[in-house]
Chain A
Amino acid sequence: MRDVAVIGIGIQKWGELWERSLRDLWVEAALNAINDAGVDHIDSIYVGAMSPGLFVGQEHIGSLCADYLGVTPVPATRTESACCSGGMAMRSGFIEVASGLSDIVLVSGVEKMTDVDGGGATYALATAADGDYEVYNGITFPGLYAMMARDYMHRFGLTREELAAVPVKSHANGFHNPHAQYRSKLTIDGVIKSVMVADPLTIMDCSPITDGAAAAILCPLDLAKDFAKGKPVVKVAGMGAATDSIALHDRADFSALNAVAVSAQRAYEMAGVKPTDINFAEVHDCFSIAEIIVSEDIGFFEKGKGGQAAAAGETAIGGKIPINTSGGLKSKGHPVGATGIGQIHELVTQLRGDAAERQVAGARRGMAQNMGGSGGSSVVHILEVV
């Protein structure tokens, strides 16, 4: 297997982008990544997207994207694993470059979520749960994570205030991110007293509906130095992916995410590093409780201690292990299929030392953890400066 590097990244400001289409969002991010890398061609394209069919009535978006970038007949396909469709695009591109099949691969993600109304978006997102045995009976995604939060609070004594510390921290970081959807600061009280969605989770525990795209260019590490032009060379040091039951009720433990634990373990093994070797991480905080559980299952904190760590500022920039310096899904936004590549964008930005006010001092190695549904799939990448 060849070593793989990330030589270009592209994104735009995420949000409710009424005047922009899926194809335009994607092409803008792709061109930004191509220009950042300085490549004059691409060999292959992966587009992560959860449900363009339900959100905008368009499938076959590999072809659509290659066409509107003007690069046909370059091969292009979509990767889908619900909310970790973008992470799976990164994984597919990594495998294609590592295998020697292609040299320059564009990995990307996109979701255009605001062409449908709230009910339509809820319906599309719910297809990531078990349609016949969860959704049919009236559960929602916030409801599934609320049931994890209830179990976690019951067993580990997590307080409502500790849980609220997660979105407060995310918004404090996203405030400094020019690409973030919601650049506003939150308070603990503001989170707790916002509209109840699924008890105990309020609207401020939940990531938003977002339009957006992100892209990155991968190539063999041996070629990466030619494109670096003085920038640090960023290598993909480790990758891991795993699955778990589609229905939350079939899990052995509602306060743990086994796919996250296994995917992180595989990435650590490939990279030859351990959790204490990671300087910062982007994790899948679709709901506040998710960030707490993930921060434990990727090995940063002991089970049951993630909430206290967040409340104590250990995951803030300047803390023991900064998490979601971009603002995370909560503040930066969650255009489902783009989220995993958005995380890669933040990792590379930090590793290049380009994160300005939200820069993690001495960032040499970062982790991106991207998850589908209620944890039915997870993919982890570890990136490091060579």
Chain B
Amino acid sequence: MASVPNYWRQEPQRYRYEANKCESCDKVFFPPRLSCGLDCAEELKPVTLATTGKVLTYTIIHIAPTQFTDEAPYAMAICEMDGGGRITAQLVDCPFANIKIGMPVRIEFRKIQQDGHHGILMYGYKVVPA
């Protein structure tokens, strides 16, 4: 179910990959957080997620949620971006047999889903082989 306020609120992450970083422990948060825990008293500073990274693990989704049924089978991967921060994203433009743990990828801005046949288009990030 698409929520327009929710979608609008997340544009900084889905369109511009805005994250933040804890000055105490150097951990990168995507999406940005208000707290890094009670041990880290420092401010969290805005940073932008690097658009290059590598695959940590992946799967091929054969049975998809309703809004992704037409795309199945498709690959999903957890990626660690260079400089820190992780995403779970579709890995596209790559034959399944070529997907490997550790392979370099880069973020591309893509359409992710739409709210029904005539609903709003919803965008965000997918990754492709770098």
- Give residues in A with beta carbon < 8 Å to B: 119, 122-123, 126, 132-140, 142-143, 146-148, 150-151, 154, 195-201, 247-250, 254
Residue of A whose beta carbon sits closest to that of B63: A197
Interface string of B30-65 (1 = CB under 8 A from A): 110000000000000000000000001111111111
Expressed in whole angstroms, the minimum distance between the Cβ of A249 and any Cβ of chain B is 4
Residue of B whose beta carbon sits closest to that of A198: B59
Given contacts A200-B59, A248-B88, 9 further A-B contacts (CB under 8 A): A135-B65, A137-B89, A137-B112, A137-B126, A140-B63, A151-B56, A198-B60, A199-B73, A254-B56
CA A248 to CA B90, docked complex, whole Å: 15
B124 interfacial contact with A, CB 8 Å? yes
Looking at the complex, which one of B76, B101, B125 makes contact with A143 (CB distance below 8 Å)? B76
Q: Which residues of B have CB within 8 Å of A138?
A: 61, 64-65, 68, 71, 74, 76, 90, 112-113
The interface centre, meaning the residue of B6, B30, B63 with most chain A CB atoms within 10 A of its CB, is B63
Expressed in whole angstroms, the minimum distance between the Cβ of A269 and any Cβ of chain B is 23
The 3 closest A-B pairs by CB, nearest first: A146-B59, A199-B60, A249-B86
Expressed in whole angstroms, the minimum distance between the Cβ of B21 and any Cβ of chain A is 14
Contacting pair A254 B78 (CB below 8 A): yes
Known A-B contacts A119-B65, A138-B71; the reply to A199 vs B112 at CB < 8 A is no
Expressed in whole angstroms, the minimum distance between the Cβ of B73 and any Cβ of chain A is 8
Expressed in whole angstroms, the minimum distance between the Cβ of A196 and any Cβ of chain B is 5
Expressed in whole angstroms, the minimum distance between the Cβ of B80 and any Cβ of chain A is 8
Q: Is the interface of A mostly helix, strand, loop or mixed?
A: helix
Known A-B contacts A132-B6, A139-B88, A250-B86; the reply to A150 vs B63 at CB < 8 A is no
CA A197 to CA B76, docked complex, whole Å: 13
For chain B, the count of residues having a C-beta within 8 Å of the partner chain is 34
Known A-B contacts A119-B66, A123-B66; the reply to A140 vs B124 at CB < 8 A is no
CA A18 to CA B112, docked complex, whole Å: 35
Residue of A whose beta carbon sits closest to that of B72: A138
Known A-B contacts A126-B65, A198-B61, A198-B62; the reply to A136 vs B78 at CB < 8 A is no
Interface string of B73-93 (1 = CB under 8 A from A): 110111000000011111000
Looking at the complex, which one of A132, A136, A140, A250 makes contact with B64 (CB distance below 8 Å)? A140
Q: Which residues of B have CB within 8 Å of A133?
A: 30-31, 87-88
CA A250 to CA B63, docked complex, whole Å: 24
Residue of A whose beta carbon sits closest to that of B29: A250
CA A147 to CA B90, docked complex, whole Å: 13
B24 interfacial contact with A, CB 8 Å? no
Expressed in whole angstroms, the minimum distance between the Cβ of B85 and any Cβ of chain A is 10
Expressed in whole angstroms, the minimum distance between the Cβ of A242 and any Cβ of chain B is 15
Interface residues of B in 75-130 (CB under 8 A from A): 76-78, 86-90, 101, 112-113, 122, 124-126
11 contacts between A and B (CB under 8 A): A137-B88, A137-B124, A138-B74, A139-B88, A140-B61, A140-B63, A142-B63, A151-B56, A154-B101, A249-B87, A250-B86
Expressed in whole angstroms, the minimum distance between the Cβ of B100 and any Cβ of chain A is 9
Q: Which residues of A have CB within 8 Å of B125?
A: 137
Expressed in whole angstroms, the minimum distance between the Cβ of B82 and any Cβ of chain A is 15
Expressed in whole angstroms, the minimum distance between the Cβ of A199 and any Cβ of chain B is 4
CA A151 to CA B63, docked complex, whole Å: 20
CA A249 to CA B125, docked complex, whole Å: 15
CA A372 to CA B122, docked complex, whole Å: 29
Q: Which residues of B have CB within 8 Å of A139?
A: 61, 76, 88
CA A132 to CA B6, docked complex, whole Å: 9
Q: Which residues of A have CB within 8 Å of B90?
A: 137-138
Expressed in whole angstroms, the minimum distance between the Cβ of A145 and any Cβ of chain B is 9
